[in-house]
């Protein structure tokens, strides 16, 4: 799995993992550039972006007007740092520490986003 980790301090980590589990607080990340293995603590993260490629497409504009079936309820996540993502979720429940968001745009570089609730300012449903 290719991951881009967005940390609470604003920094990014890119790499891959074979032992991520939503219910666990830690997992191992193999750094994309150095190959070095690091233990990651999710309490230090804003979100984990599961991506198709590390490069992405800088010119792609995420669409929010796409209707996708089978992905759950439409959700808009407002993070404390000002970023907002829009997509679908089947796993959000108030009071749970984390949940997955699937992007509204099927052409997004993001396959899914694991959101840590402690990093959110507001959650809206469409």
pLDDT top residue among 58 and 45 = 45
Model confidence band, residue 97 (pLDDT cutoffs 50, 70, 90): very high
* pTM score, whole prediction: 0.94
* Residue 4 pLDDT: 98
**Per-residue pLDDT at 63 exceeds 90:** no
Structure confidence by residue, pLDDT tens digits, 21-34: 999 999 999 999 99
CA-to-CA distance for 1 and 119, rounded, in angstroms?
23
Domain ranges in the chain are: 2-53+64-125
35-44 contacts, C-beta under 8 A, 24 or more apart: 38/13, 40/5, 40/13, 42/98, 42/116, 43/116, 43/118, 44/7, 44/8, 44/9
């Amino acid at each position: 799995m290719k991951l881009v980790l967005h940390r609470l301090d604003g920094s990014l980590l890119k790499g891959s993992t074979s032992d991520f589990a939503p219910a666990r607080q830690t997992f191992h990340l193999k750094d994309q550039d150095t190959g070095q293995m690091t233990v990651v603590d999710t309490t230090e993260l804003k979100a984990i972006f599961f991506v198709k490629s590390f490069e992405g497409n800088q010119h792609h504009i995420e669409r929010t007007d796409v209707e996708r079936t089978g992905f759950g309820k439409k959700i808009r996540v407002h993070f404390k740092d000002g970023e907002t993502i829009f997509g679908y979720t089947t796993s959000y429940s108030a009071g749970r520490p984390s949940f997955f968001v699937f992007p509204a745009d099927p052409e997004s570089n993001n396959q899914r986003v694991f959101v840590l609730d402690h990093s959110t300012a507001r959650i809206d449903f469409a």
